[in-house]
Amino acid sequence: MPRLSILLLLSLLAACERAPSKAASAVAAPEALRAHSEEFKPQLIEAAPGVYQAIGYGIANSIMIEGEDGLIIVDTMESAQAAQKVLALFRQRSDKPIKAVVYTHSHPDHIGGAAVFAPPGSGIPVYAQQDVARNMDKTAAELRAAITRRSLRMYGSYLPEGERLNLGIGGFLDLHADSQLATLRPTRTFDAQLEDTVAGVHFQLVHAPGETADQLYLWLPERGVLLCGDNFYRSFPNLYTIRGTSYRDPRLWAESLDRMRALKARYLVPSHTRPLSGEAAIAQALTDYRDAIRYVYDQSIRLINRGLTPDEIAAQLTLPAQLAASPYLQPFYGKPSWSAKSIFTGNLGWFSGDAAALQPLPPQAEAQHMLKLAGGAAAMDVQIQDALAAQDWQWVLQLSGYVLRVNAGNESARKARIAALRALGAAEANAPARDWYFSAARELAGEIKLPSREASPTPQMLAAMPLSIFFDGMAVNLHAEDCLDRVIRVAFEFEGSDARYTYIVRRGVSEVLPGIAPDAELQVRVSEQAFKETLAGLRNPALAVARDFSVVKGNKLEFVRFMQLFTPE
């Protein structure tokens, strides 16, 4: 091979080893986020002939498909109150009976108002992918408190107008302390695909993993209408959401978009943001979306293989200019940097590869060392004030965090941190980040206190949930430190059913066995509904134990002490 060719080959190989250059990007400004609010003006839109999309009445859309002698409702809002508003809106268009409900996935903002559209006992089928019920139950039983507080920060639910502009994919979250959740359990489920005709409407439901693993899209082949759920909306997608989520596999999401592209839809109706029409425009939007997801995934994996840490990858990964300029990929909701970190942990787990991260100092100890390194609390305060004067807001945030871990009462650090949070929020074009900054500032200032639950389930909703969900909820609330030296066996006998279980607490660990164990120290009798409503907080625990629980073996005081081990914190 000629020497020139060898040098050329070596230079090309070297170029392949370099980090990708930072692509030019059309970074959205806060003004762009403010303008994005126009996307969520309350409106009932005829997205396609006979297909109506209610937008701006909560965070998600509800969609009505009109058939010959009935209606199909796709997604049902986040609460019964929000669903009632939307149903009244739909009734302005049609008084035909509702014949079916479809959940595009298990997120609460798509299922919370189902019973308004399909009252219990009506026999109206609820269609969903087969994993929806299981994922609904996991959130309700195990992660409710954490997800609630994190969601309220991310959605700015306690912020005044002006601080919260919009949610990136919706105008607001219609969920309050007096809201009711009216979720129904799916009755028609499928694995990969289901085809059916309801009210003369022929449709296909296709499993399409993306924002959730249980996502589906609904395709009306004769009408050329595609209801894509949350796999497409007018923002860079949340490959990771800061409220917390299981890993969202970008490869599966891109594959789902490829299947949707192949349909060549004439109308695209998302469950967030406004509809699109025209085959060419839809093809371009879905292709850009797919390409952005694959770009972020592929380049993240490439940089992982080069040995970069999650923070290093996030700092340098940006979209190519043509994708960054797309109106459907502005970072109003998701961000490539957050996505890169999620891809790292989703593939390699929590360990960054830095040996110092194997067994790091606890945050409190690290903070003490940092103050010592700075020369003490007074010297650290000087550093914070200097950063404050320079408007180096992120550095203020990090330094103040060390000080407040050591001394939560440090007023100077607290005020500096609040100022930094508000400045970062004011400059942020990503709605979840903006709302989190402002919410954190108000929490630190003592202006708001976030609850661990924002809405209550209806008794009918609880009645349909399996008992196992409530036992799971007890297990993750067990105060293990209070029973590390004890073994307790409590048998539960449920009136009006054959359900019998023994709950065992064995030195800080829970186990639930079917049947009544003969060596149970306590045995109680209660109706399933009273048990569920007590654990769900619909009944006063003290009054419920006194009136609704009968102790068959042992005494009630011992049972009260047992139940106190599971008091949510």
pLDDT, tens digit, 9 for 90 and up, residues 406-450: 999 999 999 999 999 999 999 999 999 999 999 999 999 999 999
Q: Residue 353's pLDDT is what?
A: 95
* pLDDT single digits (tens) 233-243: 999 999 999 99
pLDDT band at 177 (very low <50, low <70, confident <90, very high): confident
Q: Residue 314's pLDDT is what?
A: 97
In a 10 Å sphere around its CB, with 0-12 CB exposed, 13-18 middle and 19+ buried, how is residue 516 labelled?
Answer: middle
Sign (positive or negative) of CA dihedral 442, 445, 446, 449 = positive
363-444 with 466-564: one CATH topology?
no
363-444 CATH choice from 1.25.40.880, 2.160.20.10, 3.40.50.300, 3.40.50.670: 1.25.40.880
What is the token pair recorded at 483?
A: 């029973």
Residue 233, phi then psi, degrees to nearest 5 = -155, 170
Q: Residue 142's pLDDT is what?
A: 81
Kindly list the distances between the CA atom of residue 123 and the CA atoms of 69, 73, 143, 324, in Å, as whole numbers in the listed order. Answer: 16, 14, 31, 47
Q: Residue 455's pLDDT is what?
A: 83
Q: Residue 452's pLDDT is what?
A: 81
Q: Residue 293's pLDDT is what?
A: 98
- Give percent of the chain above pLDDT 90: 88
What is the distance of C-alpha 333 from the center of its chain? 12
User: For residue 500, is pLDDT > 90?
Assistant: yes
pLDDT band at 29 (very low <50, low <70, confident <90, very high): low
- In this prediction, residues 475-487 reach a mean pLDDT of 96
- In this prediction, residues 197-210 reach a mean pLDDT of 98
Asked whether the whole model's pTM tops 0.85, one would answer yes
Distance CA 107, CA 59 (A): 11
pLDDT band at 144 (very low <50, low <70, confident <90, very high): confident
Q: Domain 466-564 in CATH: superfamily?
A: SCP2 sterol-binding domain (3.30.1050.10)
Q: Residue 9's pLDDT is what?
A: 34
Distance CA 116, CA 84 (A): 6
Q: Residue 15's pLDDT is what?
A: 36
The structural domains of the chain, with segments of one domain joined by +, span 40-348, 363-444, 466-564
- In this prediction, residues 382-404 reach a mean pLDDT of 98
pLDDT band at 16 (very low <50, low <70, confident <90, very high): very low
Across-strand partners of 267? 225, 277
Q: Residue 187's pLDDT is what?
A: 97
* pLDDT single digits (tens) 47-101: 999 999 999 999 999 999 999 999 999 999 999 999 999 999 999 999 999 999 9
Distance CA 369, CA 164 (A): 37
User: What strands lie across the sheet with 267-270, from one edge to the other?
Assistant: 193-198, 201-207, 216-220, 225-229, 267-270, 276-277
pLDDT band at 12 (very low <50, low <70, confident <90, very high): very low
Residue 389 or residue 177, greater confidence: 389
Contact call for residues 456 and 140 (beta carbons, < 8 A): no
Helix (H, G, I), strand (E, B) or coil at 270: strand
* pLDDT single digits (tens) 501-511: 999 999 999 99
Residue 461 or residue 396, greater confidence: 396
Report CA Rg, the chain.
Answer: 27
Which of 3-17, 180-194, 301-315 is the least confident region? 3-17
Across-strand partners of 188? 127
Residue among 194, 310, 293, 299 nearest 252 (CA): 293
Q: Residue 23's pLDDT is what?
A: 42
User: For residue 255, is pLDDT > 60?
Assistant: yes
- The topology under which CATH files domain 40-348 is Metallo-beta-lactamase; Chain A (3.60.15)
